[in-house]
Amino acid sequence: MGILDDLAAQIKKQPGRRYRYVRLDPENVSRKKIEGYEFLRKEDPEIKGTILEQHMTADGQIKVGGLSLARISEPAARLKEKKNEAKLKSRLNLIQQNYQKAGEDIKRALGPSHAAFKQITEDKE
């Protein structure tokens, strides 16, 4: 277990929330705020009385190296997971379509001698 795992285990987790460390470059911070993440501060109940208080900066954020501790609500996290799942499924479908198209192109190029050619992908439907 690394230092981040040890520190994350110290959080007084609130029901209906998920926690993670977020990289602190401006583009990533903006993206995470849009996704619904809130950065934990010294006044948050998850932090009070834990070792994480030692990692507070002058502005009240919990920082370890170039990372800061953030939380997101459970519904927002599930929505984010669904979007990522849909995006992944779409990409996989496109890859499968490209393989099928390439197989058909090869069959056309081979002409009648394509009988020995087997397609790499299977139709799942």
pLDDT of residue 76: 92
pLDDT of residue 1: 44
pLDDT of residue 12: 75
Domain match, 46 and 97 both: no
Domain match, 43 and 66 both: yes
- Is 46 inside a domain boundary? yes
Beta bridge partners of 20: 70
Closest CA to 70 of 28, 113, 108, 112: 28
Q: Could you give the CA distance from residue 67 to residue 79 in angstroms, rounded to a whole number?
A: 24
Domain match, 7 and 42 both: yes
User: What's the domain count of the chain?
Assistant: 2
Regions of the chain where pLDDT drops below 70: 1-7, 113-125
Beta bridge partners of 71: 19, 38
Domain match, 19 and 65 both: yes
Q: What share of the chain is helix, strand, coil (3-state, %, to 5)?
A: 50, 20, 30
Contacts of 8 (CB under 8 A, 6+ apart): 19, 21, 69
Contacts of 36 (CB under 8 A, 6+ apart): 72, 73, 76, 77, 80
- Its domain, for residue 101, covers 81-116
